[in-house]
């Protein structure tokens, strides 16, 4: 079964990678979706984020996982790819409240795509792209929180930056 995993991935973390690996093992085929959102300010361009994700999949030997940059409504985009599910990760109740609203709205738009919520592993439940960026900007070491394949690129981009 093909599923989509939409998100911002600015940048991808070990928490995202764990969700991707589990989704691929459970459902077979995963399309990671970077949805174009001009209102969201990101550190990395869509193409940079796509290239970093692809490097991580290759490094980790994930074969049935691809990345696309899409625009418009996520659920419609997922439908156009022939995906039957939208994967989202839940770290805390605050994630759940947001995802419940999104999933309910998506039900109004499509009855072919189910939202599937995967619970974060405890070791990643604190982890977000923002946490990674904050740590590096403040001189800390976030290398254990990202896939090895992107550590140098993310660190280089943020070194010297005083804002994200």
Question: Which residues are known to be catalytic?
Answer: 16, 40, 91, 129
Q: Which two tokens stand for residue 14?
A: 């070990």
Phi, psi of 116 (to 5 degrees): -120, 120
Instruction: State the nearest-atom distance from the C-beta of 111 to ligand ADP, in Å.
Output: 21
Phi, psi of 11 (to 5 degrees): -100, 175
Q: Please report, as residue ranges, which positions from 118 to 137 form the binding site for ligand ADP (by CB under 6 A).
A: 120, 124, 127-129
Q: How many CB atoms lie within 10 A of CB 68?
A: 14
Spell out the SS3 assignment of 53-103. Answer: HHHHHHHCCCCCEEEEEECCCHHHHHHHCCCCEEEEEECCHHHHHHHHHHH
- As a whole number of angstroms, the distance between CA 99 and CA 93 comes to 10
Question: Can residue 15 be called a binding residue for ligand ADP (CB under 6 A)?
Answer: yes
Instruction: State the nearest-atom distance from the C-beta of 95 to ligand ADP, in Å.
Output: 5
Question: Can residue 26 be called a binding residue for ligand ADP (CB under 6 A)?
Answer: no
Q: With contacts defined by CB under 6 A, how many residues of the chain interact with ligand ADP?
A: 16
- Considering beta carbons, is residue 128 or 155 the nearer one to ligand ADP? 128
Question: Can residue 16 be called a binding residue for ligand ADP (CB under 6 A)?
Answer: yes
Instruction: State the nearest-atom distance from the C-beta of 160 to ligand ADP, in Å.
Output: 24
Question: Can residue 89 be called a binding residue for ligand ADP (CB under 6 A)?
Answer: yes
Question: Can residue 77 be called a binding residue for ligand ADP (CB under 6 A)?
Answer: no
- Considering beta carbons, is residue 106 or 129 the nearer one to ligand ADP? 129
CB 99 within 8 A of CB 90: yes
């Amino acid at each position: 079964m093909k599923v989509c995993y939409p998100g911002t991935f600015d940048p991808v973390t070990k928490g995202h990678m764990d969700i991707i690996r589990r989704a691929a093992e459970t459902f077979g085929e995963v399309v990671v979706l970077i949805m174009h959102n001009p209102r969201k300010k990101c550190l990395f361009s869509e193409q940079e984020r796509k290239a970093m994700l692809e490097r991580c999949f290759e490094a980790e030997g994930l074969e049935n996982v691809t990345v696309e940059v899409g625009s418009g409504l996520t659920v419609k985009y997922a439908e156009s790819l022939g995906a039957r599910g939208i994967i989202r990760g839940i770290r805390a109740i605050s994630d759940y409240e947001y995802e419940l609203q999104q999933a309910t709205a998506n039900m109004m738009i499509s009855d072919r795509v189910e939202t599937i919520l995967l619970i974060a592993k405890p070791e990643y439940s604190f982890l977000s792209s923002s946490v990674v960026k904050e740590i590096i900007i403040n001189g800390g070491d976030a290398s254990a929180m990202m896939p090895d394949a992107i550590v140098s690129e993310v660190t280089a981009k943020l070194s010297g930056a005083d804002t994200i």
